[in-house]
């Protein structure tokens, strides 16, 4: 490269800036690194295309690490406008597009970078293959975590693609908006895969340690505001969520296209005002959105895979799943894998049916559930709640049993036998029996876990596997119900022959975890459910 003036940047100055950039790179000072790259870009803009493209590609990488994806893409495009075959710019743009879920376009970039990147060709081919796999997943929603599960969740968490299945946001019959199935799906089918806009995680030594939780929450809020500040699409999606203060008819129903990452223009559909700086954001509105839309990874309707027992406090903002309403008779669950939430059907869902999952523990009586719903600011009017609160035959017995359950001292065996006897004499249908058993699941569990009570009352109640299968029909998947099904099926209890029993267990397993693993790996999840007791697994 010839020496000489370069718009105020001579060879000596260029070498000094490169040395400074190297030091900042080693320190991972991305703001400083981007600033130095900017000086090189400015100095090389008029005279040296090779230096200009290299500096733009490096600045793009720094901006991407800082969360400024629009700025990073602009740098890549500027470099490729000057040199369409520049390998560093192609690789940087491919990585950006892959992170944005534009896998086909990312693959094009990696493919174009291959001839010029012989030294790192194997790595580029690996990225190209990853994009092809993620593109197929983004179209089908098919996830297979079998190898990761069978390896005991060792190694890097698998990459997942965002996916929007056969669902759409509509007006809910119970008010506001909800997510509805546009065609029938079977239990276990993936409904959506959503990447968190931001997450906050931490280890809380004491569950009552509010100070530690506040640290996690503050860190999470800062990440959300930072993401909204730097990414117009993220800000637009956050603004589409409810603050909990609007009138139901004030909530617009968003086009499903906004939840898909294929948009070519990052600013598409985003108002100019309110984006770009922390001061320009409506921080008060964002905080209200977070207050009513955040999801926790340890929720009753969720499974957390691969945490290795380290993280015990996780909160995040998953946009599309936040539109799902609560029901005490839910039909969906979610599995958290890294920063992604995989939402699946926990029982068969009909076309046009609203997709719901529980916001709180629904394996409790209706009185407790109503208290929990009021704490969330709504009243649940699902078919299960209406039946348990209004049924003329069972209402008094349910109130009595709930009082005994929580006042202490009651014989759980006697309580369960009385409930079963009342339902039998009243000829309650199996579906409603499932509701009652789910509401008093803790009483049934106490009975099944206690050898003395089982010797006294066991012959007067259905077997553990039978009750577990019934409860699963009411609440979909649940690890505690699955655990009971596994234990009860090993005991026999008249729940069918070996193949029938295994089919029932797998069905509840699919309802609990979805179709994220094959049958062999599903058994590994069963072993985890049984706390590693291999002798009790199938």
Is 341 found in the same domain as 415? no
Is 305 found in the same domain as 247? yes
Is 373 found in the same domain as 344? no
Q: Is residue 73 part of a domain?
A: yes
Angstrom distances, CA of residue 43 to CA of 8, 55, 66, 222: 6, 10, 23, 35
- The pLDDT of residue 114: 85
261 burial type by CB count under 10 A (0-12 exposed, 13-18 middle, 19+ buried): middle
pLDDT band for position 208 (cuts 50, 70, 90) = low
Is 445 found in the same domain as 325? no
Is 173 found in the same domain as 112? no
Q: Is residue 519 part of a domain?
A: no
Contacts of 211 (CB under 8 A, 6+ apart): none
Q: Is residue 124 part of a domain?
A: yes
Position 134 pLDDT exceeds 90: yes
- The pLDDT of residue 497: 64
Burial letters 518-528, b for 16+ CB under 10 A, else e: eeebbbbbbbe
CA atoms of 255 and 246, how far apart (whole Å): 19
- The pLDDT of residue 236: 87
How does pLDDT run across 482-498, given as a tens digit for each residue?
888 888 777 655 555 66
pLDDT band for position 204 (cuts 50, 70, 90) = low
**Joined tokens for residue 123:** 């790595």
How does pLDDT run across 1-45, given as a tens digit for each residue?
333 444 456 777 888 989 999 999 999 999 999 999 999 998 877
Q: Is residue 311 part of a domain?
A: yes
How does pLDDT run across 271-308, given as a tens digit for each residue?
343 345 556 788 999 999 999 999 988 888 898 888 65
- The pLDDT of residue 262: 65
Contacts of 115 (CB under 8 A, 6+ apart): none
Q: Is residue 434 part of a domain?
A: yes
- The pLDDT of residue 310: 57
Q: Considering its fold, how many domains does the chain have in total?
A: 3
Position 211 pLDDT exceeds 80: no
Is 331 found in the same domain as 252? yes
Range(s) of the domain holding residue 463? 366-491
Residue that is written with structure tokens 């977070």 in the block: 290
Is 374 found in the same domain as 348? no
Lowest mean pLDDT among 267-281, 341-355, 511-525: 267-281
Is 241 found in the same domain as 187? yes
């Amino acid at each position: 490269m010839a020496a000489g003036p370069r718009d105020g940047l001579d060879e000596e100055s260029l070498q000094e800036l490169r040395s400074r950039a190297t030091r900042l790179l080693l320190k991972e000072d991305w703001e400083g690194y981007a600033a130095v790259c900017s000086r090189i870009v400015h100095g090389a803009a008029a005279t040296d295309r090779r230096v200009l493209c290299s500096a733009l590609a490096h600045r793009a990488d720094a901006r991407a690490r800082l969360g400024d994806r629009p700025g990073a893409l602009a740098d890549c495009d500027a470099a490729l406008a000057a040199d369409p075959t520049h390998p560093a710019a192609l690789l940087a743009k491919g990585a950006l597009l892959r992170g944005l879920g534009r896998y086909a376009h990312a693959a094009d970039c990696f493919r174009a970078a291959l001839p010029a990147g012989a030294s790192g060709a194997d790595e580029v081919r690996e990225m190209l293959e990853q994009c092809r796999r993620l593109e197929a997943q983004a179209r089908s929603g098919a996830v297979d975590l079998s190898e990761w599960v069978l390896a005991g969740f060792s190694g890097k968490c698998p990459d997942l693609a965002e996916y929007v299945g056969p669902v759409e946001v509509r007006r809910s019959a119970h008010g506001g908006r909800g997510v509805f199935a546009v065609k029938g799906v079977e239990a276990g089918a993936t409904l959506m895969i959503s990447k968190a806009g931001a997450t906050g995680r931490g280890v809380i030594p004491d569950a009552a340690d509010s100070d530690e939780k506040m640290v996690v929450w503050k860190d999470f809020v800062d990440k959300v505001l930072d993401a909204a500040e730097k990414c117009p699409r993220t800000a637009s999606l956050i603004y589409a969520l409810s603050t909990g203060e609007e009138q139901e008819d004030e909530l617009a129903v968003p086009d499903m296209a906004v939840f898909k990452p294929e948009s070519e223009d990052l600013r598409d559909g985003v108002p100019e005002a309110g984006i770009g700086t922390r001061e320009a954001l409506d921080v008060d509105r964002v905080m209200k959105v977070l207050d009513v839309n955040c999801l926790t990874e340890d929720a009753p309707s969720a499974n957390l895979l691969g945490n290795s027992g380290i993280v015990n406090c996780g909160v995040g903002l998953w946009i599309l799943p936040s539109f799902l309403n609560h029901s005490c008779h839910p039909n969906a669950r979610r599995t958290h894998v890294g920063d992604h939430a995989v939402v699946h059907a926990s029982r068969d869902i009909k076309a046009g049916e609203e997709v719901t999952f529980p916001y709180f523990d629904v394996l409790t009586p209706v009185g407790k559930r109503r208290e929990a719903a009021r704490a969330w600011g709504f009243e649940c009017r699902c078919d299960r709640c209406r039946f348990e609160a209004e049924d003329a035959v069972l209402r008094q017995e349910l109130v009595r049993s709930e009082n005994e359950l929580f006042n202490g001292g009651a014989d759980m065996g006697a309580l369960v036998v009385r409930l079963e006897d009342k339902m039998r004499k009243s000829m309650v249908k199996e579906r409603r029996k499932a509701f009652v058993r789910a509401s008093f699941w803790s009483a049934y569990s106490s009975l099944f876990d206690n050898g003395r009570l089982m010797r006294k009352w066991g012959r007067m109640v259905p077997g553990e596997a039978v009750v577990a299968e019934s409860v699963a029909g009411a609440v979909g998947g649940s690890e505690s119900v699955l655990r009971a099904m596994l234990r009860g099926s090993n005991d026999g209890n008249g729940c069918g022959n070996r193949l029938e029993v295994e089919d029932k267990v797998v069905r509840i397993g699919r309802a609990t975890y979805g179709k994220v693993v094959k049958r062999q790996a599903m058994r590994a999840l069963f072993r985890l459910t049984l706390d590693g007791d291999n002798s009790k697994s199938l």
